[in-house]
């Protein structure tokens, strides 16, 4: 449980960090809740760590001018739980890790690390967040839908730093729920489903359903969303929509949940998350 | 919740006093193995086999040896020591053959499990040592592996050891075969079931570790080790492994952060650190086990495949129990591995029931897995699981209530002392170890009342309305503690061929302060508190005037250590004997001081008074002061109050009780939730009810873990798939309800405290209670057995299969 030798560099500013990354074979470290574990197992062996932990400009969290919300990359789960007014966000984050993990682990770290079974990506996907990325080439804003490419693989270039995630305003009356079957050992999701729903005139006008733990990366279950939107949101409509939970996905398998079981649970938990979002 | 007392009442004995060692443990001031840092200390790391079964063609250590900070690199060829000892072969009256292969300090020609040590590096820092391991090149010849005990015995299975045909370690049996066969043949009802008690990884929070230091000036060794048994390790390491004379070695076990049995044993790393220190000229060598390393190289527990048959009458009387068990012992044998599934398992299979005919066969098997040895309960959880599942299966078959079947078969209070038919036989004269005392119905009735057992059907209906399957499970367990009378444990072919008494020394210093040393070895149980409670009561001195010292072969009397819930019944009896010797000498000296006859001195707490003249008295502190100065000692009386006693218990002790678990199963997902847990335990008299409750809470959680979550899983080629806490599911507080504890008290007649032991009871009882609850819940689908752990997928699949759907 001793990592391979690495160099350590504490960034004094965002530009300093970006400059350090340009040197190659480096990883950004924030809370270290995921990366350090992989390094101690020698599954990750970066030559250099660039510590962005003291960059206070990455700690901002709050509403944006357009009525949206922005969460700086260094905001911890515990801080985010205190600053959000969204029940679904608290419901999700209180199921992440334990008190110690929530006090150290950062939302930005979780998004950038892209563990296929971590919870924050599903929450952020369902709330239509985008990633704000900076490099020496400038800043770009990438919607999270499409950002997660596979297990621990994202759209980020090796020299880019995630500085925040940002979203626009939510539809009026949007409500959500996060429903999770936790892995009995790791606590990661076997199935984690975040549903955010808004209704208008007796039918569902907005549906976002994001799933983690099931596919090769956290994903939007668009077959579920399209089946829901325009429906009356009845129990039978929700059940029918939930049947699309794993459409197009290569479903994960491990010793606690094989592919067939996990697929079935994705459907069940999708239905439960939507039902809960609808107040059932 | 037990009330907490900060200050004792008239006597601290029996009071719920907070543990005096806890402030240092919970504020980071404990001194565990890895906290010890010695001048010029070096660090050792061990290269472990990535293969479950392979031959070693060659090992090239040249690159590693030249890496920064590296002092030495060793392979098996460098180590002159013997293989580790086999202290408890499976025995019995018939002279059972044991095909023994134990690990070498480092493997020489072949490896038998992933994690067996093959080379070691000593370097200035742990980082340098681990880095150098990566530079060692081993030319491996991988071989086919087998990890399942039944498959290992099949024709054509990979053979692990030349002298163990079909991978059999031993074939052992106990009980009356002919009588049991006849009882089962004649029975009205016979129920058969194959049940698996899955392999567990024990997980003490502190992993193991050692520091070896060879002193070139004196030619002596000091070995610090995270161990339950420093005295035994000194004996085993010297007399059996290294050949170094015993008096040249001192073993010290500092604060030990949990053990659960894993730290009873003699491990290769202990001898390796001794060897390495001498080899590098006497610098201390420290090795601290990593968690993943712990999962592969420290012993595992359980891993039985059992075929049970229970027979009886339709009126509920059980007339016979026949059991065949295959015990997976791993790739080589741990120190007492064969003793667990034989003596400590099969001899207590009939539990608390007066079953007249019992017969068990046990086959120990080698597989390409980590070795298996004693883990909290050690054989008794496996036996309890078999008999408690069997009672439920039998009750279901005859359509009788589970509690009533148990009641019908309990050993009755007037039958104690009770000799069970497969019981433990002593060496001298064939006398049996008996069940000391018991009264099983009151404990069960208390537990049944607590859960409103009569209203179970209504509770189930209510849960079903919520989409949940509710189940209630009973475990009317019994276990055997206080190992052991030497006349039994020392019996050739039955025990481990050694004595197992305990020891204590008490000194009352000139200042009146009391130092207690003993041969037992705490690993988190609170012995510093409980020994002080017992001695304070016996000598009448305040607890804060007593220090309890342990864990160092220099300065404590020889003892066999702490395991098998033996410390209170055996070790503390030795301490009481020593205290009584102190009292006797103090009485004689008080008589001298008071110019009275010793027979006329009466003792009241700390006061020694002349009968009929209450003003003529001396306190034990005054006596100690005078006797330690010895200006006025009478002719023939030695100075100082310093007494040592040894105690060999006349019999084991047998705690019992009834645990009832209530579970709810989500029909749609298979998720099992433990919603309620009631435990009524009878551990005899309690020295400290708070510590008793703590032991029960921890034990119950551990046993629940086996039922619901835990299980070591190997791939077919012998890779440990549950190789870390990311994959091996330990019980977590958030997933457990508050346990509801109650008690009955049936003192043991075999020791002066009337205690029975509590270290393992919770873990022994709870697994079966939860298993029976889950099966009770699944009874709604006609399911009568399912193997643990009850993971959601397994339960879901069973429900689907029962529904006739796709599993």
Query: pLDDT for B748-788, tens place per residue?
Result: 999 999 999 999 999 999 999 999 999 999 999 999 999 99
> Which pLDDT score, from 0 to 100, does residue A103 have?
96
Q: Does B801 touch chain A (CB under 8 A)?
A: no
Per-residue CA distances from A133 to A119, A125, B224, B385 (Å): 21, 16, 52, 57
Q: Does B793 touch chain A (CB under 8 A)?
A: yes
Element (H, E) at B70: strand B70-75
Asked if B288 and B207 touch (Cβ cutoff 8 Å), the reply is yes
- Tell which phi-psi region holds residue B346, choosing left (phi > 0), alpha (psi between -120 and 50) or beta: alpha
Asked if A233 and A215 touch (Cβ cutoff 8 Å), the reply is no
pLDDT digits (tens, 9 = 90+) for B654-705: 999 999 999 999 999 999 999 999 999 999 999 999 999 999 999 999 999 9
Q: Do B791 and A184 touch (CB under 8 A)?
A: yes
- Shortest CA gap A192–chain B (Å): 14
Q: Does B725 touch chain A (CB under 8 A)?
A: yes
The mean pLDDT value of chain B amounts to 95
Q: Do B721 and A4 touch (CB under 8 A)?
A: no
Task: Of B240, B206, B109, B231, give the one whose Cα is nearest residue B162.
Answer: B109
Query: CA-nearest residue of chain B to A184?
Result: B729
> Which pLDDT score, from 0 to 100, does residue A23 have?
82
Percent of chain B with pLDDT over 90: 92
Per-residue pLDDT of chain A (280 residues; tens, 9 = 90+): 899 999 999 999 999 999 999 888 999 999 899 999 999 989 999 999 999 999 999 999 999 999 999 999 999 999 999 999 899 999 999 999 999 999 999 999 999 999 999 999 999 999 999 999 999 999 999 999 999 999 999 999 999 999 999 999 999 999 999 999 999 999 999 999 999 999 999 999 999 999 999 999 999 999 999 999 999 999 999 999 999 999 999 999 999 999 999 999 999 999 999 999 999 9
pLDDT digits (tens, 9 = 90+) for A112-132: 999 999 999 999 999 999 999
Task: Of B498, B533, B531, give the one whose Cα is nearest residue B229.
Answer: B498
Per-residue CA distances from B626 to A129, B516, B592, B604, B796 (Å): 83, 20, 11, 19, 75
Residues paired with B225 in a beta bridge: B210
> Which pLDDT score, from 0 to 100, does residue B247 have?
97
Q: Do B730 and A185 touch (CB under 8 A)?
A: yes
- Shortest CA gap A201–chain B (Å): 32
Higher pLDDT: B347 or B492? It is B347
- Shortest CA gap A117–chain B (Å): 12
Q: Does B50 touch chain A (CB under 8 A)?
A: no
pLDDT digits (tens, 9 = 90+) for B194-247: 999 999 999 999 999 999 999 999 999 999 999 999 999 999 999 999 999 999
Please check the confidence at residue B154 and state whether its pLDDT lies above 90: yes
Which position has the token pair 């019994």? B478
The residue count for chain B: 807
Nearest to A2 among B127, B671, B722 (CB): B127
The mean pLDDT value of chain A amounts to 96
Mean pLDDT of B586-613: 96
Q: Do A5 and B709 touch (CB under 8 A)?
A: no
Residues of A whose CB is below 8 A from B295: none
List, as one string, the DSSP characters of A208-232: EEEEESSSSS-EE-HHHHHHHTTS-
pLDDT digits (tens, 9 = 90+) for B713-733: 999 999 999 999 999 999 999
> Which pLDDT score, from 0 to 100, does residue B103 have?
98
- Shortest CA gap B115–chain A (Å): 15
Cβ under 8 Å to A: B residues 628-687:
668-669, 671
Query: CA-nearest residue of chain B to A257?
Result: B793
Percent of chain B with pLDDT over 70: 96
Q: Do A185 and B709 touch (CB under 8 A)?
A: yes
For chain B, the straight-line distance linking the first and the last C-alpha, in angstroms and rounded, comes to 43
Please report the ipTM that was assigned to this predicted complex. 0.96
Residues of A whose CB is below 8 A from B48: none
Nearest to B669 among A2, A256, A265 (CB): A265
> Which pLDDT score, from 0 to 100, does residue B94 have?
55
> Which pLDDT score, from 0 to 100, does residue B499 have?
79
Interface probe for A, chosen from B792, B795, B803 (most Cβ of A below 10 Å), is: B792
Q: Do A184 and B726 touch (CB under 8 A)?
A: no
Q: Strands (DSSP E) along A44-111, which ranges?
A: 48-51, 61-63, 69-72
Higher pLDDT: B161 or B500? It is B161
- Shortest CA gap A69–chain B (Å): 32
Query: CA-nearest residue of chain B to A260?
Result: B807
d(CA B124, CA B41): 7
> Which pLDDT score, from 0 to 100, does residue B148 have?
98
The token pair that represents B60 in the structure block: 């090239």
- Shortest CA gap B574–chain A (Å): 42
pLDDT digits (tens, 9 = 90+) for B358-369: 999 999 999 999
Residues of B whose CB is below 8 A from A184: 708-709, 729, 791
Residues of A whose CB is below 8 A from B712: none
- Shortest CA gap B703–chain A (Å): 16
pLDDT digits (tens, 9 = 90+) for B328-340: 999 999 999 999 9
d(CA B450, CA B472): 12
> Which pLDDT score, from 0 to 100, does residue B4 have?
52
Q: Do A181 and B792 touch (CB under 8 A)?
A: yes
Contact partners, residue B407, CB within 8 Å, separation at least 6: B441, B444
- Count of A–B CB contacts within 8 Å? 52
> Which pLDDT score, from 0 to 100, does residue B1 have?
39
Q: Does B130 touch chain A (CB under 8 A)?
A: yes
Mean pLDDT of B454-459: 96
Nearest to B793 among A2, A4, A257 (CB): A257
- pLDDT band at B156; cut points 50, 70, 90: very high
> Which pLDDT score, from 0 to 100, does residue B807 have?
45
- Shortest CA gap B759–chain A (Å): 25
Q: Do B727 and A1 touch (CB under 8 A)?
A: no
pTM summary value: 0.96
Query: CA-nearest residue of chain B to A262?
Result: B793
Mean pLDDT of B530-545: 97
pLDDT digits (tens, 9 = 90+) for B39-73: 999 999 999 999 999 999 999 999 999 999 999 99
Nearest to B796 among A1, A41, A261 (CB): A261
Residues of B whose CB is below 8 A from A5: 127, 131
> Which pLDDT score, from 0 to 100, does residue B806 have?
46
Q: Does B290 touch chain A (CB under 8 A)?
A: yes
- pLDDT band at B804; cut points 50, 70, 90: confident
* Chain A residues within 8 angstroms (CB to CB) of chain B: 1-2, 4-5, 41, 181, 183-186, 254-258, 260-261, 264-265, 268
Interface probe for B, chosen from A2, A179, A214, A280 (most Cβ of B below 10 Å), is: A2
Please check the confidence at residue B406 and state whether its pLDDT lies above 60: yes
pLDDT digits (tens, 9 = 90+) for B285-318: 999 999 999 999 999 999 999 999 999 999 999 9
d(CA B102, CA B86): 7
Query: CA-nearest residue of chain A to B125?
Result: A2
- Shortest CA gap B130–chain A (Å): 7
Nearest to A268 among B131, B668, B725 (CB): B668
Q: Do B131 and A186 touch (CB under 8 A)?
A: no
Query: CA-nearest residue of chain A to B791?
Result: A256
The token pair that represents A54 in the structure block: 């003291």
Q: Does B171 touch chain A (CB under 8 A)?
A: no
Q: Do A186 and B292 touch (CB under 8 A)?
A: no
Burial bucket for residue A129 (CB in 10 Å: 0-12, 13-18, 19+): buried
Q: Does B428 touch chain A (CB under 8 A)?
A: no
For residue B359, the 8-state DSSP code is E
């Amino acid at each position: 449980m001793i990592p391979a030798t690495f160099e350590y560099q504490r960034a004094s500013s965002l530009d300093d960090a970006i400059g350090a990354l340009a040197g190659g074979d480096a990883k950004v470290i924030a809370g270290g809740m995921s990366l350090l574990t992989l390094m101690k197992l020698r599954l990750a062996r970066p030559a250099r760590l660039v510590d962005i932990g003291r960059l206070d400009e990455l700690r901002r969290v709050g509403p944006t001018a357009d009525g949206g919300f922005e969460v700086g990359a260094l905001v911890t789960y515990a801080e985010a739980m205190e600053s959000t007014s969204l029940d679904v966000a608290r419901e999700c984050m209180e199921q992440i890790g334990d008190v110690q993990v929530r006090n150290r682990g950062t939302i930005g770290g979780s998004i950038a690390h892209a563990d296929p079974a971590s919870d924050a990506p599903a929450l952020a996907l369902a709330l239509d967040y985008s990633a704000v990325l900076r490099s020496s080439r400038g800043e770009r804003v990438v919607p999270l839908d499409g950002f997660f490419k596979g297990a621990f693989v994202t759209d980020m270039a090796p020299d880019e730093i995630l500085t925040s995630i940002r979203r626009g305003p939510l539809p009026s009356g949007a409500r959500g729920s996060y429903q999770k079957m936790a892995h009995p050992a790791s606590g990661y999701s076997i199935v984690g489903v975040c549903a955010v729903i808004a209704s208008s005139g007796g039918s569902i006008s907005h549906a976002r359903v994001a799933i983690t733990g099931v596919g090769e990366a956290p994903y939007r279950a668009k077959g579920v969303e399209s089946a829901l939107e325009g429906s009356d949101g009845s129990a039978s409509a929700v059940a029918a929509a939930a049947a699309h939970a794993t459409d197009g996905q290569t479903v994960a398998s491990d010793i606690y949940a094989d592919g067939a079981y996990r697929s079935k649970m994705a459907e069940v938990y999708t239905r439960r998350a939507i039902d809960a979002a609808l107040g059932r | 919740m037990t009330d907490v007392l900060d200050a004792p009442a008239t006597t601290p004995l029996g009071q719920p006093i907070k543990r005096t060692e806890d402030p240092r443990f919970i504020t980071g001031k404990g001194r565990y193995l890895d906290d010890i840092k010695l001048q010029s200390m070096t660090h050792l790391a061990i290269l472990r086999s990535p293969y479950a079964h392979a031959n070693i063609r060659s090992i090239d250590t040249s690159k590693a040896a030249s890496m920064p900070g590296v002092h030495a690199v060793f392979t098996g060829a460098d180590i002159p020591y013997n293989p580790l000892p086999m202290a408890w072969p499976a025995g019995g009256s018939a002279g059972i053959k044991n095909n023994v292969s134990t690990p070498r300090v480092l493997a020489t020609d072949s490896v038998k499990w992933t994690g067996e040590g093959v080379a070691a590096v000593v370097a200035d820092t742990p980082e340098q040592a681990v880095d150098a391991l990566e530079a060692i090149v081993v030319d491996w010849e991988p071989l086919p592996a087998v990890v399942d005990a039944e498959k290992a015995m099949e024709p054509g299975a990979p053979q692990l050891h030349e002298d163990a045909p079909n991978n059999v370690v031993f074939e052992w049996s106990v009980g009356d075969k002919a009588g049991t066969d006849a009882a089962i043949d004649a029975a009205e009802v016979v129920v058969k079931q194959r049940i698996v008690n899955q392999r567990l990884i024990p997980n003490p929070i502190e992993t193991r570790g050692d520091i070896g230091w060879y002193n070139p000036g004196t030619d002596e060794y000091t070995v610090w080790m995270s161990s339950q048994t420093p005295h035994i390790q000194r004996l085993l390491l010297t007399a059996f492994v290294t050949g170094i004379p015993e008096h040249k070695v001192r073993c010290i076990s500092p604060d030990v952060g949990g053990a659960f049995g894993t730290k009873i044993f003699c491990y290769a790393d202990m001898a390796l650190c001794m060897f390495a220190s001498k080899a590098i000229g006497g610098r201390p060598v420290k090795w601290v086990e990593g968690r993943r390393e712990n999962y592969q190289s420290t012993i595992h527990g359980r891993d039985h495949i059992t075929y049970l048959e229970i027979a009886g009458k339709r009126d509920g009387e059980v007339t016979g129990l026949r059991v065949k068990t295959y015990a997976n012992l791993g790739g080589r044998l741990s120190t007492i591995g064969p003793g667990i599934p034989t003596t400590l398992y099969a001899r207590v299979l009939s539990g608390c029931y007066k079953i007249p005919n019992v017969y068990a066969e046990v086959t120990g098997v080698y597989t390409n897995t980590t070795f298996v040895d004693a883990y909290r309960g050690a054989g008794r959880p496996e036996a309890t699981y078999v008999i408690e599942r069997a009672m439920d299966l039998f009750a279901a078959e005859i359509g009788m209530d589970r509690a009533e079947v148990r009641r019908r078969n309990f050993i009755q209070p007037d039958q104690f002392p009770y000799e069970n038919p497969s019981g433990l036989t002593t060496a001298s004269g064939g006398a049996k170890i008996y069940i000391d005392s018991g009264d099983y119905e009151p404990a069960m009735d208390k537990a049944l009342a607590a859960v409103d057992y009569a209203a179970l059907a209504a509770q189930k209906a209510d849960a079903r309305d919520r989409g949940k399957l509710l189940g209630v499970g009973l475990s009317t367990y019994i276990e055997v503690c206080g190992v052991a009378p030497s006349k039994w444990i020392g019996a050739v072919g039955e025990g481990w061929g050694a004595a197992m008494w305990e020891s204590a020394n008490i000194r009352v210093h000139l200042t009146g302060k009391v130092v207690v040393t003993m041969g037992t070895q705490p690993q988190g149980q609170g012995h510093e508190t409980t020994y002080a409670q017992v001695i304070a009561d016996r000598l009448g001195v305040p607890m804060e005037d007593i220090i309890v010292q342990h864990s160092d072969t220099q300065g404590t009397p020889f003892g066999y250590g702490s395991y098998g819930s033996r410390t209170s019944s055996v070790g503390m009896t030795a301490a009481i004997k020593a205290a009584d010797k102190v009292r006797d000498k103090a009485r004689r000296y008080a008589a001298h001081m008071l110019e009275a006859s010793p027979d006329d001195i009466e003792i009241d707490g700390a006061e020694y008074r002349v009968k009929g003249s209450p003003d003529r008295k001396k306190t034990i502190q005054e006596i100690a002061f005078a006797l330690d100065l010895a200006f006025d000692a009478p002719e023939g009386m030695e100075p100082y109050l310093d007494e040592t006693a040894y105690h060999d218990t006349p019999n084991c002790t047998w705690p019992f009780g009834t645990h009832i678990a209530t579970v709810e199963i989500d029909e749609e997902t298979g998720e099992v939730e433990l919603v309620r847990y009631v435990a009524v335990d009878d551990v005899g008299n309690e020295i400290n009810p708070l510590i008793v409750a703590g032991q029960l809470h921890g034990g119950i959680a551990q046993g629940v873990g086996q039922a619901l979550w835990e299980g070591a899983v190997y791939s077919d080629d012998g890779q440990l798939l549950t190789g870390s806490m990311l994959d091996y599911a330990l019980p977590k507080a958030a997933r457990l309800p508050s346990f509801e504890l109650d008690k009955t008290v049936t003192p043991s007649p075999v020791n002066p405290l009337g205690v029975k032991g509590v270290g393992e009871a919770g873990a022994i009882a709870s697994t079966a209670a939860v298993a029976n609850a889950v099966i009770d819940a699944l009874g709604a689908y006609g399911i009568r057995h399912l193997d643990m752990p009850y993971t959601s997928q397994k339960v879901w699949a069973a429900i689907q299969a029962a529904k006739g759907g796709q599993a």
